[in-house]
């Protein structure tokens, strides 16, 4: 049986019709709200709102930045585009400068004339002077940058300041040499392609070869200290170049020292008292000691070396290596005509001292220039003495040292003998001069002896006697 409630008379079709009618009318409603009602309410609101000068927006520069590429690997290049426009349709902009902060680890490749990059401690500031921009004016700046390859190894030579003036060296490498260079009659430093003038201020001589601004190099090194795992220092003499100590102190103060391997060439003449403590803080220290002989031979070649000071510093460094296994050393003589005959004695001295933490065999540099100071210029009539002296060393090695060590020394020092015998050059003309190597040696030695109040006859008598028999 059906109930008495009136049945909903709207069918499905009527309801759909209704919905469609509302849908068709909605644009009209929206237009009325947007065009009539919204401005009406806005005008009503504005008429009550207090208006100040700050509400008048000044024209400004609008910049959109777009980056093309991804910095995922060191060395990858990306392109940054800055599109700018004057926001005003009516007013120009004057003296517009635009700046962006870039990550410190990116390197900018190409910069247009009116742009620059400033290095900060934690970032790089890219800056462009855009000047005046007309109403509606717009433009584009593009920039190519790449992710920096981290600098891990610095091989650095901070000038030529040195506290020795070794006979085979010169004013290019040693500031102390300059006075003697002038006393020898030179007015320029001319053994490089560039000729360096020598300036005199009172009694002091100086040259641009050593007097240059080291600050940018030091700054670059400090900025990269977080990446560095190896620093190799030479000079001049690194222990007397104050910037080196500042670099090491910075590494200690900022907790980088424990990650850094230090390598040195040092003449071991003047070691600052705090050096021993500084070195002990680094991950690893490798000292190559430039010492060319024992006693008088060392002091003659490496003026104003004092053998007792050198000997004491070698031994002190040895003690340091015993306390700190991260520190190691070797001695590396430079073999010249002056010390070739003493070298076998030095090898024995080194071996007999049993510097257990040092390399078992001294490193070896054979001097190749100046040519008149090489062992090839040893008087021909006396070269057989070199052969005899080294054969005597080799026999001593075989009799006193374990086989591996003896073989190592013999192989190394046989190279010195071979080089000495390879050529006789005493009558050969010295490069670029009118006289022979024999004359160049005698002249160089006599002049320096007189300037330094030294004597070849007293310090190295066997060489003095031998050169009397130059051909
Ligand atoms: S210590 Fe080195 S830089 Fe100094 S004079 Fe000797 S060789 Fe030259």
Q: What pLDDT is recorded for position 111?
A: 78
Ligand 1 centroid from CA 237, angstroms? 7
pLDDT at residue 412 in the model: 96
Class of the CATH-defined domain 61-147: mainly beta
Does the CB atom of residue 336 touch ligand 1 within 6 A? no
Cα separation, 407 vs 70, whole angstroms:
56
With 60 as the cut, is the pLDDT of residue 294 above it? yes
343-352 helix and 383-400 helix, angle to the nearest 10 degrees = 20
Q: Where are the domains of the chain?
A: 61-147, 153-467
Residue 7 pLDDT: 52
- Residue 426 token pair: 């005493």
Using pLDDT thresholds of 50, 70 and 90, give the confidence band for residue 1: very low
pLDDT at 51 > cutoff 80 = no
Q: Mutate which of 157, 165, 172, 174 to test ligand 1's pocket (most atoms within 8 Å of Cβ)?
A: 174
Question: Cβ(127)–Cβ(203) under 8 Å?
Answer: no
Q: How far apart are the CA of 164 and the centre of ligand 1, in A?
A: 6
Cβ of 169 closer than 6 Å to ligand 1, yes or no, is: yes
Beta-bridge partner residues of 330 = 288
| Count of C-beta atoms within a 10 Å radius of residue 344 | 21
Question: Do the beta carbons of residue 424 and residue 371 sit within 8 Å?
Answer: no
* Cβ(300)–Cβ(271) below 8 Å: no
* Residue 324, strand partner residues: none
Check if 426 has its Cβ closer than 6 Å to any atom of ligand 1. no
297-334 per-position pLDDT tens digit? 999 999 999 999 999 999 999 999 999 999 999 999 99
| Ligand 1 centroid from CA 274, angstroms | 23
In this predicted model, what pLDDT tens digit does every residue of 114-141 receive, in sequence order?
899 888 877 889 999 999 999 999 999 9
Tokens of 319: 């003690």
Neighbour count for residue 240 (Cβ, 10 Å) = 21
Query: In the structure, what pLDDT confidence band is assigned to residue 3 with cuts at 50, 70 and 90?
Result: very low
pLDDT band for 9, please (50, 70, 90 cuts).
low
Q: Is 391:435 a contact under the CB 8 Å cutoff? A: no
List the residue whose alpha carbon is closest to atom 2 of ligand 1.
Answer: 236
Q: Is the CB of 166 under 6 A from ligand 1?
A: yes
**3-state SS class at 3:** coil
Looking at residue 6, the DSSP 8-state letter turns out to be P
Same fold, 61-147 and 153-467: no
Q: How many Cβ atoms are within 10 Å of 39's Cβ, its own excluded? A: 10
Q: Report pLDDT for 149.
A: 74
CA of 169 to the centre of ligand 1 (A): 6
Q: How far apart are CA 279 and CA 37, in angstroms?
A: 82
pLDDT of 265 reads 92
Distance 45 CA to ligand 1 centre (A): 86
Angle separating helix axes 403-422 and 383-400, nearest 10 degrees = 170
> Would you state the pLDDT for residue 53?
62
237 lines ligand 1 (CB under 6 A): yes
Selecting from 1.10.150, 3.20.20, 3.40.50, 3.30.160, what CATH number does the domain 153-467 have?
Answer: 3.20.20
C-beta neighbour count of 46 within 10 angstroms: 9
CB within 8 A of 187, min separation 6: which ones?
198
54 pLDDT tier (thresholds 50, 70, 90): low
Quote the percentage of the chain above a pLDDT of 90. Answer: 58
Residue 144 in contact with residue 79, Cβ under 8 Å?
Answer: yes
* 334 Cα nearest atom in ligand 1: 7
Q: What is the mean pLDDT of residues 203-227?
A: 82
If DSSP states are collapsed to H, E and C, what string results for 319-344?
HHHHHCCCEEEEECCEECCCCCCCHH
Give 157 or 386, the one with higher predicted confidence. Answer: 386
Structure tokens at 330: 């070797």
Written as six digits, the tokens of 11 are 């069918």
CA dist 310 and 294 (Å) reads 9
Q: At what angle do helices 403-422 and 343-352 cross, to 10 degrees?
A: 160
160 CA: nearest ligand 1 atom: 3
Question: What are the residue ranges of helices labelled H in 254-342?
Answer: 275-280, 295-301, 307-323
* Residue-level pLDDT at 438: 95
φ, ψ dihedrals at 341, nearest 5°: -80, -20
Mean of pLDDT values over 398-421: 97
Residue 439 has pLDDT above 90, yes or no: yes
- Predicted pLDDT of residue 349: 98
269 C-alpha to ligand 1 centroid (Å): 11
CA of 176 to the centre of ligand 1 (A): 9
Q: Is 173 in the pocket of ligand 1 (CB under 6 A)?
A: yes
CA of 216 to the centre of ligand 1 (A): 25
pLDDT in tens, 15-40: 888 888 888 888 887 887 778 778 88
């Amino acid at each position: 049986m059906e109930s008495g409630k009136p049945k909903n008379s709207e069918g499905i079709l009527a309801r759909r019709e209704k919905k469609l009618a509302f849908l068709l009318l909605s644009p009209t409603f929206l237009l009325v709200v947007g065009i009539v009602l919204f401005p009406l309410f806005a005008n009503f609101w504005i008429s009550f709102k207090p208006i100040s000068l700050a509400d008048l927006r000044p024209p400004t520069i609008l910049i959109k930045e777009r980056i093309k590429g991804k910095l995922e690997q060191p060395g990858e290049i990306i392109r940054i585009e800055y599109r700018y426009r004057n926001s005003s349709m009516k007013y120009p902009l004057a003296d517009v400068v635009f700046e962006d902060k870039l990550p410190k680890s990116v390197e900018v490749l190409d910069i247009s004339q009116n742009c620059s990059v400033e290095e900060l401690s934690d970032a790089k500031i890219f800056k462009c002077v855009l000047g005046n921009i007309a109403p509606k004016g717009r433009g584009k700046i593009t920039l190519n940058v790449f992710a920096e390859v981290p600098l891990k190894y610095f091989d650095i030579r901070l000038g030529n300041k040195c506290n020795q003036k070794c006979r085979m060296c010169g004013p290019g490498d040693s500031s102390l040499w300059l006075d003697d260079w002038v006393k020898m009659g030179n007015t320029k430093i001319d053994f490089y392609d560039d000729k360096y003038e020598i300036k005199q201020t009172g009694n002091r001589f100086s040259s641009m070869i050593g007097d240059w601004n080291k600050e940018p190099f030091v700054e670059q090194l400090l900025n990269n200290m977080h990446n560095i795992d190896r620093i190799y220092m030479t000079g001049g003499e690194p222990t007397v170049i104050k910037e080196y100590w500042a670099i090491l102190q910075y590494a200690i103060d900022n907790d980088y020292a424990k990650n850094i391997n230090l390598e040195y060439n040092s003449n071991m003449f003047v070691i600052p008292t705090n050096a021993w403590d500084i070195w002990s803080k680094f991950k690893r220290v490798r000292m190559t000691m430039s010492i060319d002989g024992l006693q008088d031979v060392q002091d003659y070649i490496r003026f104003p070396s004092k053998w007792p000071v050198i000997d004491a510093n070698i031994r002190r460094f040895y003690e340091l290596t015993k306390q700190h296994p991260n520190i190691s050393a070797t001695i590396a003589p430079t073999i010249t005509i002056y010390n070739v005959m003493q070298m076998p004695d030095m090898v024995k001295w080194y071996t007999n001292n049993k510097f257990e933490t040092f390399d078992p065999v001294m490193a070896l540099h054979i001097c190749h220039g100046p040519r008149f100071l090489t062992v090839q210029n040893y008087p021909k009539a006396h070269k057989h003495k070199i052969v005899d002296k080294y054969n005597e060393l080799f026999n001593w090695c075989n009799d006193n040292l374990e086989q591996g060590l003896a073989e190592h020394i013999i192989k190394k020092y046989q190279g010195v003998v071979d080089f000495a015998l390879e050529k006789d050059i005493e009558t050969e003309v010295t490069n670029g001069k009118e006289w022979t190597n024999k004359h160049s040696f005698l002249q160089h030695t006599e002049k320096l002896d007189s300037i330094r109040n030294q004597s070849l006859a007293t310090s190295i008598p066997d060489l003095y006697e031998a050169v009397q028999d130059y051909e």
